[in-house]
Chains A and B, each alone.
Chain A
Amino acid sequence: MSIEWLVRIATEYWPMFVRGARMTLLLATVGTIVGFFIGLLVGAVRTVPREGGLIRRVLLWIVDAVLAVYVEVFRGTPMIVQAMVIYYGSAIALGLHMDKLTAALFIVSVNTGAYMAEIVRGGIVSIDKGQFEAAQAIGMNHWQTMLYVILPQVVRNILPATGNEFVINIKDTSVLNVISVTELFFQGKSVAGGNFRYFETFLVISAIYLILTFTVTRILRYIERKLDGPEHFIPYANQMQVQTPEDILRKKRNAVGY
């Protein structure tokens, strides 16, 4: 290994690496966010209580079966194979010529969605039954219960798992080089293909991946801590002697502008 080569590669090719890193981040971010919402939707639908009329129950069963197949297929096959099948397969079988970026975004999202669906389902199941009952007892229907009480808690609880998916996506989108998306690994391959300095080039690439995953992990941990807030509460009476609860409400209302 030579230090000169490392420096030379980094200084000479940095615009390519930055573009690659940006593409990797784009794929990972969009994939995680879209996958997250797919997961929420699939998870919520799969936990709809199987009750009501016969038609409703049959319909729920069919929808659940379809979603179960989706989850199994995308979790049970490698993303690199999914990429080949979807990108090349759709062109041949369906005459559908997706551009590379669209195909890549689609693949990461759908793949992440399958993992997130199971994470969300676990998250919903682990919410205390009392939360569902209290929401129902107050008159909420299934969707109101999900939307206003259950899913917000699920989202908070699965934040660590979602962050984990994000980090995995930063690394695993490298397999999308098989459909020639110009993400970080692909850029590394191009550079190394020109200078034949595979070791030094990919050492630089490793460092960039590490910086990305490390930064993202720290940011996510910070957000989690922020969301949890302090352990104890100081009643307003002790904090601000002159304010009534109405004052506090009014101030808050003005601040957010409702």
Chain B
Amino acid sequence: MNNVIEIKHLSKSFGAHQVLKDIDFSVRAGEVVCIIGSSGSGKSTLLRCINLLEKPSGGQIIYRGQDILTNPSNVYALRAKLGMVFQQFNLFNNYDVLGNCVVGQMKVLRRSREEAEEMALKYLRLVGMEQFIHARPRQLSGGQKQRVAIARALAMEPDVMLFDEPTSALDPEMVGEVLKVMATLAASGMTMLIVTHEMAFAREVAHRVVFMDQGVIAEEGPPEQIFINPQQERTRQFLQRTQRRQ
């Protein structure tokens, strides 16, 4: 069994509001999974439960054979293995581009500065931001910030990359540069879990697409199934709504 992440009966409530209901799903090594669904359907919460930014209310999250909920002894090591990219970039404002990509490696992975800088540079090159190592976050455009955020996560050499709507806060002309980096990453064999509204991207890059609706996985399957021949009425309706918007 080569499941990197396996989720069983996962549920999450905020007070009386049940946001995730009995979620079952898994991600295999090297797989690219896109999660789609309307706003408020629980996509972010699912992603945030996986790296324990939210504490699940019930169920199991198994990472490489270990149940991380009954065994939360090393939350920090787990999070270091799961790279996260946020919609709002969240670059550390007190560091320049290089510092952003180095601080986690040095403080969490205890790498030497030289080693960390070398690694940072490798990934800043991959995202095309090596010319900006001494720029501050506020001096960058949204697309540049997001590419740095991706490099920051990659420099930790994560096992899995989690993306939460990485292009939703970008001006339209900057969406492409970020998606290009993500497509390169997907082609390199990285295991990726991507929440996105970019249907064309999901169709092209995903191995599997998961459609969430009101806290449950309504349908999942290869992109051809979801986008061309959806089995569920609500999947079809959702796709129609998004097409009309575009």
User: Interface on A for B, CB 8 Å cutoff?
Assistant: 128, 130-131, 133-141, 144, 148-149, 152-153, 156, 229-233, 235-237, 245-246, 248-249, 253, 258
Contact = CB atoms under 8 A, between A and B. Distances in A.
B64 interface: no
Interface in B28-60: 51, 53
Prevailing SS type, chain A contact patch = helix
Contacts of B152: 138
Contacts of A237: 131
Nearest to A141: B76
A138 B108 contact: yes
B197 interface: no
A131 B92 contact: yes
Given A133-B53, A153-B94, A139 B131 contact: no
Contacts of B94: 149, 152-153, 156
Contact of A229 (B103, B124, B136): B136
Given A138-B152, A141-B76, A233-B139, A133 B132 contact: no
A17 to B, nearest CB: 42
11 contacts: A130-B86, A130-B90, A131-B90, A134-B86, A139-B156, A144-B108, A153-B93, A230-B139, A233-B136, A235-B131, A245-B130
A241 to B, nearest CB: 11
Contact of A136 (B53, B88, B138, B156): B53
A27 B88 CA distance: 44
Contacts of A138: 79-80, 84, 103-104, 108, 152-153, 156
Contact of A233 (B80, B104, B107, B132): B132
Interface residues of B, number: 42
Contacts of B133: 236, 245, 248-249
Given A233-B132, A233-B136, A245-B121, A137 B53 contact: yes
A180 B53 CA distance: 56
A134 B80 CA distance: 11
B131 A236 contact: yes
B236 interface: no
A225 B139 CA distance: 16
A141 B149 CA distance: 19
Given A134-B149, A232-B139, 18 more contacts: A128-B90, A131-B92, A133-B86, A136-B53, A138-B80, A138-B104, A139-B79, A139-B156, A140-B108, A153-B94, A229-B136, A235-B132, A236-B133, A236-B134, A245-B124, A245-B130, A248-B134, A249-B98
Interface in B123-161: 124, 130-136, 138-140, 149, 152-153, 156
A15 B117 CA distance: 55
A136 to B, nearest CB: 6
Contact of A137 (B51, B130, B138, B140): B51
Nearest to A238: B131
Contact of A134 (B82, B91, B124): B91
Given A130-B90, A149-B92, A231-B139, A137 B79 contact: yes
A223 B239 CA distance: 55
Contact of A140 (B76, B91, B130, B134): B76
A149 B104 CA distance: 10
B77 interface: yes
Nearest to A231: B139
Contacts of B77: 139
A249 B96 CA distance: 13
Closest 7 CB pairs of A and B: A139-B80, A134-B90, A233-B139, A130-B90, A138-B104, A137-B84, A233-B135
B81 to A, nearest CB: 8
A206 to B, nearest CB: 40
Contact of A258 (B80, B113, B153): B113
B79 A144 contact: no
Contact of A133 (B90, B130, B131): B90
